[in-house]
Amino acid sequence: MTGLRWGILATGGIAHAFTSDLRTAGLDVAAVGSRSTDSARAFADQYGIPRAHGSYDDLIADPDVDIIYIATPHSHHLEPAVAALEAGKHVLIEKPVTLDADEATAIRDVAAGHGLLAMEAMWTRYLPHMVRIRELVRAGTLGDIRAVSADHTQRAPLDPAHRMNALELGGGALLDLGIYPVSFAWDVLGAPVEVRALGRLGDTGADTEVAIALTHASGAVSSLLTSSRAVGPNTAQVIGSEARIEIDRVWYTPTSFRLIAPDGTVLEEYRSEVDGRGMQYQALAAEQIVAEGRTDSDLLGFEESIAIMGTLDEVRAQVGVTYPKER
């Protein structure tokens, strides 16, 4: 533990999952902030957090907080992230990092101006099984990578006001769920050189299904699917000329995978052994980055987060999703 004191901004479901894993890892959670004093106090009591603030501003101003986890909906990441950075706090921002690439660029500029860490909380990148997959890919074990496929599909509530359906909250399957397979394709194959997307929109105008095809500089292709109305296999594959990797359900959480030769021989089988949900690995990485005097992640640099948002912007444009602030 490097001694960073964490502040949790917002008290929704993802904040609970993250804070629970921080406690599992023995990290220092110093304060929580909510728009409701009662909510902040209840959250603090549940996790043994010393200070509960009844506003985000009070949390950001807390002198005993070094780094803030931004757990609001992605439509509301920009303002608190910028405020925290301007107050001298590092920020770990829940994925997707913002609503669009322009907002992500604004955060990058403020972080750079203050010499602070701004990092997207794409926790999947930091999980042990993904670390091993990255090792296999970079060692050339799979040969020439030809294709990546992945889905993130869930059944979300149908309530039009739910964050998955409300355009004013950045609703839609793409940004909330599709960010996972898109980021995975970037991780394995790098930036796409061509983006094609088809989708279906719900009654609110938010996307409910999106199919994405990416072509990468190597010539490899990615086939990605997301849905907020139906549950698919939630598996992923990396297919190479000499071997393939099959990642089991649920591929973006701690799980198992197999390295398989073209003749079907299983060359390696990996099974995750992780305490909690596994969100602590990104927090440990953030602490290590700061301890080393760096201001960017080596697994997901902020420039890459901005570029991934650019890919999502292009997908939204092709599918026909526009958020109120863009009109």
Phi and psi at 9, nearest 5°, equal -105, 105
Fold of 5-124+279-295: Rossmann fold (3.40.50)
Please state whether the peptide bond connecting residue 210 to the residue before it is cis, i.e. omega within 30 degrees of 0.
no
pLDDT of 327 above 80: no
| Domain spans of the chain, in order of start | 5-124+279-295, 128-273
pLDDT of residue 325: 85
**What sign does the CA torsion over 88, 92, 94, 95 have?**
positive
In CATH terms, is domain 128-273 a member of 3.90.550.10? no
Mean pLDDT, rounded, for 269-278: 97
pLDDT of 1 above 50: no
- Report pLDDT digits (tens) over 171-209: 999 999 999 999 999 999 999 999 999 999 999 999 999
C-alpha–C-alpha distance, residues 229 and 296, integer Å: 36
Structure tokens belonging to residue 69: 């986890």
C-alpha–C-alpha distance, residues 187 and 120, integer Å: 14
Q: Vertex 214, ends 208 and 219: CA angle to 5°?
A: 165
